[in-house]
């Protein structure tokens, strides 16, 4: 199961917006990625603090199409022509480049008008305005303990995860997404999502609830929150598809369920009893 929700194209449009089976989503975007570390505190994700991505998804993908058939041309001063290759793992055409600093990303992929070419059909995508929002930050209905971007809680209760609101929210220009997936149980494909596309992009914040039945001791959930701001959203774009240009702020963390104190005490008591019995047998 692919639990990646790095871009709006995967979590947002492709999953929730109604579209014909042959319609494509053409997307370019810049991301800033963070790890939540405490109440109201986040830090850049060192694995990919900044990312540029261009993708084509939806419809029927053709892995045999030459990569040169799908490409973007950056505004002046950028990298120039960049080919978009087919990614078999995601089943879509995708180009990604990660950066450790925003200045490096802006040098390679500056703000301006990008030309997207797909099979000889081109369109202009304005990626302008530096529309980065505030950082998504989670709050909870249950008390827990933060450590290394993991929020530790005890089992037995529903957990509600709330986002803050997007600063400067304007209906239709922003999107909120939340995705939670079980990390460490190969027999479970539990996934809980919130997407403001479901109510017409009219929500400046969002929340999900993970039920207590899914929060058993030892369970580890990965949570990703996403704020998107659109500089372009054209529903009648390349080949009748949808053209999207956007800026994204991502925050992720884990929720780990620890044993209840009574269970921990029972476990320690059982270990102590076993050790005492072993000692008596050895003495005999």
According to DSSP, residue 122 is labeled E
Residue 166 resides in a domain? yes
The CA distance from 247 to 277, in Å, is 63
Residue 59 resides in a domain? yes
pLDDT number for residue 6: 36
Looking up tokens 């030459």 gives 66
Residue 228 resides in a domain? yes
Distance in angstroms between the alpha carbons of the first and the last residue of the chain: 55
The CA distance from 39 to 215, in Å, is 21
Give me the helices (H) in the chain, please: 8, 14-16, 102-108, 261-283
Spatial CA neighbour of 249 closest among 174, 183, 172? 174
Q: What's the pTM value of the predicted model, to 2 decimals?
A: 0.81
Structure tokens at 237: 């774009």
According to DSSP, residue 198 is labeled G
pLDDT number for residue 91: 78
Q: 57-61, 62-66, 209-213, 238-242 — which one is most confidently predicted on average?
A: 209-213
Mean pLDDT of 183-208: 78
Structure tokens at 278: 């072993």
The predicted-structure confidence for 133-146, as pLDDT tens digits, reads as follows 999 999 999 999 99
Is the pLDDT confidence value at 261 over 70?
no
The CA distance from 113 to 108, in Å, is 14
Who contacts 143 (Cβ-Cβ below 8 Å, separation ≥6)?
153
Q: Please, how many CA atoms are within 13 Å of residue 212, restricted to the half-sphere of its CB?
A: 7
The CA distance from 217 to 208, in Å, is 20
The CA distance from 94 to 226, in Å, is 19
Residue 100 resides in a domain? yes
* Helix and strand element counts for the chain (H, E): 4, 18
pLDDT number for residue 15: 36
Who contacts 259 (Cβ-Cβ below 8 Å, separation ≥6)?
154, 155, 217, 218, 267
Residue 236 resides in a domain? yes
Is the pLDDT confidence value at 55 over 70?
yes
Structural domain boundaries enclosing 194: 8-283
The count of structural domains within the chain is: 1
pLDDT number for residue 188: 56
The CA distance from 151 to 215, in Å, is 13
Residue 3 resides in a domain? no
Residue 20 resides in a domain? yes
Residue 230 resides in a domain? yes
The predicted-structure confidence for 16-51, as pLDDT tens digits, reads as follows 333 333 478 999 999 999 999 999 999 999 988 999
Q: Please, how many CA atoms are within 13 Å of residue 248, restricted to the half-sphere of its CB?
A: 28
Structure tokens at 262: 């009574």
The CA distance from 156 to 32, in Å, is 35
More confident residue, 15 or 135: 135
pLDDT number for residue 272: 45
């Amino acid at each position: 199961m692919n639990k990646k929700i790095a871009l709006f194209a995967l979590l947002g449009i492709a999953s929730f917006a109604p579209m014909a089976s042959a319609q494509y989503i053409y997307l370019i975007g810049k991301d800033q990625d963070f790890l939540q570390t405490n109440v109201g505190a986040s830090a850049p994700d060192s694995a990919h603090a900044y990312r540029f991505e261009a993708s084509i998804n939806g419809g029927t993908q053709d892995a045999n199409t030459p990569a040169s058939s799908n490409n973007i041309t950056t505004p002046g001063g950028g990298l120039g022509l960049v080919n978009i290759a087919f990614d078999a793992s995601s089943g879509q055409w995708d180009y990604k480049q990660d950066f450790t600093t925003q200045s490096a990303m802006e040098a390679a992929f500056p703000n301006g008008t990008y030309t997207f070419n797909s099979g000889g059909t081109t369109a202009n995508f304005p990626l302008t305005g530096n529309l980065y929002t505030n950082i998504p930050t989670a709050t909870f209905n249950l008390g827990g303990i933060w450590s290394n971007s993991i929020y530790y809680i005890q089992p037995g209760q529903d957990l509600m995860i709330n986002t803050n609101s997007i600063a400067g929210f304007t209906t239709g220009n922003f999107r909120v997404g939340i995705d939670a997936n079980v990390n460490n149980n190969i027999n479970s494909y539990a996934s809980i999502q919130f997407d403001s596309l479901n109510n017409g992009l009219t929500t400046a914040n969002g929340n999900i609830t993970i039920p207590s039945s899914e929060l058993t001791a030892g369970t580890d959930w990965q949570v990703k929150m996403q704020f998107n701001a659109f500089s372009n959203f054209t529903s009648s774009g390349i080949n009748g598809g949808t053209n999207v240009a956007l800026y994204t702020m991502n925050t992720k963390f884990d929720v780990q369920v620890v044993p209840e104190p009574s269970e921990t005490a029972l476990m320690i008591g059982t270990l102590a009893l076993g050790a005492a019995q072993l000692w008596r047998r050895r003495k005999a």
